[in-house]
Structure 1
Amino acid sequence: MKQFISFVKKEFYHIGRDRRTLFILLVMPIVQIIIFGFALTNEVKNSSIAVLDQANDVGTRSIIAELDASNYFTVQKNLNSYKEVESEFKKGKIKMVIVFPQNFATDIKHFNKAQIQFITDASDPNLANTMNSYASNIIMDYQNRINQDLKLPYRIKTEYRMLYNAQLKGAYSFVPGVMSMVLMLICTMMTAITIVKEKELGTMEVMLVSPVQPLKIVIAKAVPYLLLSTINITTILLLSVFVLDVPINGSIILLVSEAILFTLTSLALGLLISTVTDSQQTAMFISLTGMFLPTVMLSGFMFPIENMPLPLQIISNIVPAKWFYFIVKSVMIKGVGLASVWRETLILVAMTGFFLLLSIKKFKIRLA
């Protein structure tokens, strides 16, 4: 029994010395429960909407106030004309525009009925349907309240208009998300084990005594995976267009260029993981577990980021897939140009440079 206890103590000592393993064992479950607990929801909360109130009467102002007071919507902007609607959607912040016709009060008073139009960004069909449902319920509650003392009840009819995805195909949201996930996971995971593999095979000594600079060694490790990733990009786009019927409404050159930029970001991140780990197993675990959860949960692909608590919204800004997902959806589905995605592009460029410089700095020119 004493021998058994001594072996148990020895194992605890080993775990205690390996701080990375201890971190994974104790901290990773906490991170997972927080991410799943707060991000894993299909509810709509604090979604940004705009209002085109052409009537501007007591009734429309009351409805707008109720929408803004709910936990589901936040009125971000008041529009002046229909011309502003699509430009607001292309900026990516507004998810819905609610339009009140100019004769709203007159129709209610003289005809006991009026109409409201919901214009929704349907590039994410699930979100669009949920927002329409929530907004309709708020309008229905308002209608029931004003009808309490009336013999001839008022009727407010809602008209729905879905932008960018009139048929509400799931592939329109699925393709940009899968493209982000595939490039991030494959590129990061494959490059994460490259330098570590050289260490384990004992060939790193040969590379270190060569006259090649660390920068060239690091970049040389990434080049083959960059070329292979271009094949993945081409395959995904071809399947999207010819099999899933998802159109490329924007510039295909811009889309491919952004995909290559995101590939470089993923490769640079993989190289960073490779330089700071000592075994292929650890590198693969970090690249899979550490990248898969943030990419799926915090990129906006599966769950709207605005639904999450503020700390998770802030953390999502350091997830490269979030910015690439926005770029692909904007260029591919909405047909915008570089002028609309320059900010997200600049963020990916900065991330790529940061990861690459840190990889070079962390690259050990001596094994011992």
Structure 2
Amino acid sequence: MKQLFTFVRKEFLHVLRDKRTLLVLFGMPVVQILLFGFALSTEVKNTKIGILDQDGSQRSVELVAKINANQYFDLDENLKSIQEAENTFKSGRIKMIVVIPSGFSENLINGKKTQIQLISDATDLNLANQIYSFMSNITMDFYNQQTLQPHVGIQPEIRMLYNPQLKGAPNFVPGVMALVLLIICVLMTAIAIVREKETGTMEVLLVSPMKPYVIILAKAIPYFILSVIILISILVLSVSVLDLPIKGNVFLLFGISIIFIITNLLIGIVISILTDTQQTAMLISLIGTMLPTLMLSGFMFPVENMPVPLQIAGNIIPAKWYYEIVKNIMIKGTGLEVIWKQVAVLLGMMAVLFVIAVKKFRIRLE
């Protein structure tokens, strides 16, 4: 045990002396959390729009004021004609034009069918659909408030559970947690062990009195501790900066995160055993783990929209299951009774990777 602590201390000193590694380890989580939480947010906020009011009545002015007062839109242009609206669209200054036709107020007073034209810039289809949905809700709410006759028919009531403000952070934070922990555990661990093999010092360590598995364990422990520290920092940033409270059990989230960290460390150890150069280990880590996590885990793209073969392939990615777990605990506030299947899958992956690591370790290093 004393030898293990000595070797772990040596590895910590090695990591702490490498300023570039420290910058990656502690700078990357902060940058990604802030980047995904703010710059890459999918929220509709302060979107510039134009208004072409052909009615000019008191009620049309009230509608414009209601739209302008909403946090989702920022009135940038009061347009005078269709030609001016078209030119404004081409300039790219606005993303939508709301056309209020003549007779708008009269139809509204008489309870007749009242149409408002919403023209969106569909070069960004997702944004156009979001803007249209928000604007439709605003205009429908205005109509229900202003009409003097009861609205006949079914009026749906829209409720957004768990994320009523439609913020981007609840979607990105769980994915960033999975991605950051994956990179640190897999990439850093694989490179750290392969570096010893590449420089020839691994053979020297293996002929020392220390058991080979102790050497591998000592290599992994520093990155385990650093991953835990980074996990805590991500959670603190999420709560304090992105205003994303953890609705579920924090200790449950922390415990499952430990399982995910160990699973990724085992992936890094397996990669390090199967490779002989840092470049190979880096390529396998990035292409074999990072890209599938981004593409197939549901973090960036909905899994349901993918072809069935890709959905099946995504099931072998630990980050997919961890992403689902984090969303359930942090956003929905669910407990183990809901996520036990995902936890069981992670535990199974950890056990399988441990067996593979032990067997391959004996074949390649003993």
Normalised to the residue count of structure 2, the TM-score between the two structures is 0.58
Q: Percent identity?
A: 58
1:187·1:270 contact (CA, 8 Å) conserved in 2?
A: yes
- TM-score in terms of structure 1 length: 0.57
8 Å CA contact 1:188–1:269 kept in 2: the answer is yes
Question: Post-superposition shift, 1:364?
Answer: 5.2
Aligned equivalents of 1:159 and 1:173: distance in 2? 24
Q: Contact between 1:208 and 1:365, CA under 8 Å: does it hold in 2?
A: no
Among 199, 202, 209, the alignment partner of 1:201 is 199
1:163 aligns to what?
Answer: 161
Deviation at 1:167, TM superposition (A): 0.5
Residue matched to 2:301: 303
Q: CA deviation at 1:186?
A: 1.6
Aligned pairs for 1:212-251 (under 5 A) are: 212-251=210-249
Q: Which has the larger radius of gyration?
A: 2
Report what 1:173 is aligned to: 171
Which residue number in structure 2 is paired with residue 34 of structure 1?
none
Q: 1:363 corresponds to which residue?
A: 361
- Alignment-mate amino acid for residue 323 of structure 1: W
State the partner residue of 1:256.
254
How far off is 1:334 after superposition?
A: 0.4
Q: Deviations over 1:298-339 (max 9, x none)?
A: 111111111111101100100000000000000011001111
The whole-number CA distance in structure 2 between the counterparts of 1:366 and 1:276 is 8
**Match of 2:299, SS?**
coil
Cα distance per residue 1:154-176 (max 9 Å; x no partner): 74322201100110100011100
The amino acid across from 2:342 in the alignment is E
Contact 1:191 1:270 in 2 (8 A): yes
Quote how far apart the aligned CAs of 1:293 are.
1.2
Unaligned runs of 5+ in 1: 1-41, 43-125, 137-152
Q: CA deviation at 1:365?
A: 6.5
- Separation in structure 2 between the aligned mates of residue 342 and residue 218 of structure 1, nearest angstrom: 30
**What is the alpha-carbon distance in structure 1 between the residues aligned to residue 359 and residue 192 of structure 2?**
17
User: CA distance change for structure 1 residues 213 and 353 in 2, over 3 Å: closer, same or farther?
Assistant: farther
For 2:157, what is the secondary structure of its paired residue? Answer: strand
What is the alpha-carbon distance in structure 2 between the residues aligned to residue 366 and residue 241 of structure 1?
45
Q: CA RMSD in A?
A: 2.9
Structure 1 runs of 4+ off > 4 angstroms?
364-368
State whether structure 2 residue 283 is matched by structure 1 residue 324.
no
User: Is the Cα contact below 8 Å between 2:273 and 2:364 reproduced in 1?
Assistant: no
Residue of structure 2 equivalent to 1:275: 273
After superposition, give the CA deviation of every residue in 1:241-279 in whole Å (9 maximum; x if it has no partner). Answer: 000000100011011111111111111101110000010
Do the aligned residues in 2 keep the contact of 1:208 with 1:366 (CA within 8 Å)? no
- 1:342 & 1:211 partners in 2: Cα distance? 42
- What stretches of structure 2 of length at least 5 have no aligned partner? 1-41, 43-125, 137-150
Q: Provide, for residues 21-68 of structure 1, a one-character-per-residue CA deviation record: whole Å limited to 9, x for no partner.
A: xxxxxxxxxxxxxxxxxxxxx9xxxxxxxxxxxxxxxxxxxxxxxxxx
In 2, the alpha carbon distance for the partners of 1:167 and 1:217 equals 50
